[in-house]
Amino acid sequence: MSIKLKALLKSPWVFHLSTGSCNNCDIEILDCLTPRFDIERFGMLLVGSIKHADVLLITGSGNRKSMERAKRLYEQMPKPCLVVAVGECALSRGMFIHSYNCPVPIDKVIPVDVYIPGCPPKPEAIIAGIVKLIEKVKKGTAKK
Amino acid sequence: MEKTIIPIGPYHPLQEEPEFFMLTVEGEKVVDIEVRIGYNHRGIEKLSEMKSFDQSTFLIERICGICSTSHPFAYTRAVEDIIPVEVPERAKYIRTIIAEGERIHSHLLWLGLAGHFLGYNTVYMWVWKLREEILDVMEILTGNRNSYAMFKPGGIRRDIKSEDIPVVIKKMDSIVSTLEMLKKAVIDDPVIHARTKGIGILSKEDAINYCALGPTARASGVARDVRKDSPYGAYDKIEWDMIVTHNGDVFDKLVVRILEVFESIKIIKNCFLNLPGGEIDANIKDIPPGEGIGFIEAPRGECFHYVKSDGTNRPVRHKVRAPTFMNLPTCKATIIGEYISDATIILAAIDPCYCCTERMTVCNTKRKKIYTGKDLIKLSREKTEILRNKMGVK
Ligand code: SF4
């Protein structure tokens, strides 16, 4: 494992990106930060700028207007970086698969490392997903 | 003075949803604002036409995660309006309970975020911790934290177990005591007074002119609430008060929301005390051709659905109007003339929900022509004509 990735695992800072979601997944992500779940104790922090982030949390079904921006944001992210897709929408577009405004699933545009299913996933599931991500990086199978 | 444009968004740390504001400022004063949405548009109205009436409820629930009861509630009322059918009493009460539970968690969510916007993260953490308790209650009652999937045209999907009721009432009581403490802490806090009193005032005339809804209107002294004006569910059978304040500033909107949480808890408790027995579903079989409207008071204001049926098992047209669509333009009245540092809290004061509001405009900048419905029909006919000629069909 490269030294950069090793350092990243100690405190993965997270940027949250919503690409046409119903808000539920986004709220469950915010829930993870609040006292009951409090993932900040593990060094995870929601950051305001993509340029400070190590992990990109994507929610939503990737509509035409926001996917262009999402791609641009991904390109601005310092590498190595990890991408997590949260919620059914981000996995396969879920309910909105036949919509005229959601042409492709997100992982066709951005390489995704971990998928967290659920509509919305519970905060426990999101935390479990991040733990899986860390294991994956340790094993060296992440896409980086 | 020179004018500067400040873009906020579409992906901004303060917003959990993507939306784009363009603030024009002169020095520190905001002189104009423009809002651009569409980053969340998923074409739900069209998708709904592809699903059956029963399936649509699940789709409608996913218009917005926070209003995941309001939209199905309005939609089921619209479908019931087509038939028309009388919903069983027990279902009405349970619907009311779920809707009020949602109101509590939505208002608390807003209160926490407002604290966060003001740089007052203690409030944010406190309130969201309290909100977890409500989500627990909802999980006991419906099986889900959000997106409850309780509604169906004609009734509800699942019954509430009688052994759960004492547990829920006990939890509610514990929430009330924490909430009292929180109310004192927030409403008497000098910092919150300084940041929110007299800021972003929406006068009564403006509220009426802009057709503001829900807590935004009620904070400006417009006593409008669908639950009182045109009662549905069990709202006309139980005691509760409408909260109205008169200043129209951010502080008043905050007070309205906090006090409404207490009212909601009162309503839920009353509903449990008077919960009738019996059926929970009217067992709708066919939906005849016709039109129906459904309107309910969502946490942010009146939510309106229109459904048209042609006698098949799918809606021909489904129209959604979420409350933020009406509340968002009031920003024009409240934000202009205020300082830029207050802009975020004023924008947040209406409790905007963009995923409900999303609309789409198609513009073709190259040809500088906007197609109307007539033009599209004309184009379509021309194409058919060309194809006919090609194939030699008369
Ligand atoms: S996965 Fe479900 S909860 Fe999450 S954004 Fe999509 S519809 Fe909403």
Are B124 and A27 within 8 A, CB to CB?
A: no
What pLDDT digit, counting tens, does each position of A76-128 carry?
Answer: 888 888 899 999 888 888 888 888 888 888 888 888 989 999 888 999 999 89
pTM of the model: 0.89
What pLDDT digit, counting tens, does each position of B194-222 carry?
Answer: 888 888 888 899 889 988 888 999 999 98
A-chain residues near B124 (CB < 8 A): 34
Please state the atom number of ligand 1 nearest to the C-alpha of residue A59.
Answer: 5
What pLDDT digit, counting tens, does each position of B89-98 carry?
Answer: 999 999 999 9
pLDDT at B261: 92
Sheet holding A114-116, edge to edge: A45-46, A13-18, A55-59, A82-86, A114-116
What pLDDT digit, counting tens, does each position of B136-173 carry?
Answer: 999 998 888 888 888 988 889 988 888 889 999 998 88
Are A102 and B13 within 8 A, CB to CB?
A: no
B3, β-bridge pairs: B26
Pull the structure tokens for residue B80: 């019931």
AA letter at B135: L
Phi, psi dihedral angles at B104 (to 5 degrees):
-60, -50
Are B39 and A28 within 8 A, CB to CB?
A: no
What are the structural domains, with CATH classification, of chain A?
Answer: 3-139 (3.40.50.12280)
Report the separation in Å between the CA atom of A87 and the middle of ligand 1, taken as the mean of its atom positions: 6
Exposed/middle/buried for residue B294 (C-beta within 10 Å: 0-12, 13-18, 19+): buried
CB B305 within 8 A of CB B293: yes
Judged against a pLDDT cut of 70, whether residue B394 lies above it is answered with: no
Q: Is A120 in the pocket of ligand 1 (CB under 6 A)?
A: yes
- CB atoms near residue B166 (< 10 Å): 10
Q: Is A18 in the pocket of ligand 1 (CB under 6 A)?
A: no
Take atom 5 of ligand 1 and give the residue whose Cα is closest: A21
Helix (H, G, I), strand (E, B) or coil at B232: coil
pLDDT at B14: 65
ipTM: 0.89
Which one, of B357, B327, B323, B321, lies nearest residue B39 by Cα? Answer: B357
What are the structural domains, with CATH classification, of chain B?
Answer: 40-332+343-352 (1.10.645.10)
Nearest residue of A to residue B45, measured between CA atoms: A99
A114, β-bridge pairs: A84
Give the whole-angstrom CA distance, residue B207 versus residue B371: 34
Give the whole-angstrom CA distance, residue B29 versus residue B11: 23
Are A36 and B17 within 8 A, CB to CB?
A: no
Residue B262 CB contacts under 8 Å (≥ 6 apart), including other chains: B176, B179, B183
Give the whole-angstrom CA distance, residue B299 versus residue B258: 12
Please state the atom number of ligand 1 nearest to the C-alpha of residue A119.
Answer: 2
Residue B19 CB contacts under 8 Å (≥ 6 apart), including other chains: B9, B10, B35, B36, B37, B39, B40, B352, B354
Count the helices and strands in chain A (H runs, E runs).
5, 5
Judged against a pLDDT cut of 70, whether residue B369 lies above it is answered with: no
Are A23 and B17 within 8 A, CB to CB?
A: yes
Average pLDDT, chain B: 86
Judged against a pLDDT cut of 80, whether residue A4 lies above it is answered with: no
A-chain residues near B44 (CB < 8 A): 96, 99
pLDDT at B367: 61
CB B320 within 8 A of CB A22: no
B-chain residues near A35 (CB < 8 A): 125, 128-129
CB A59 within 8 A of CB A14: no
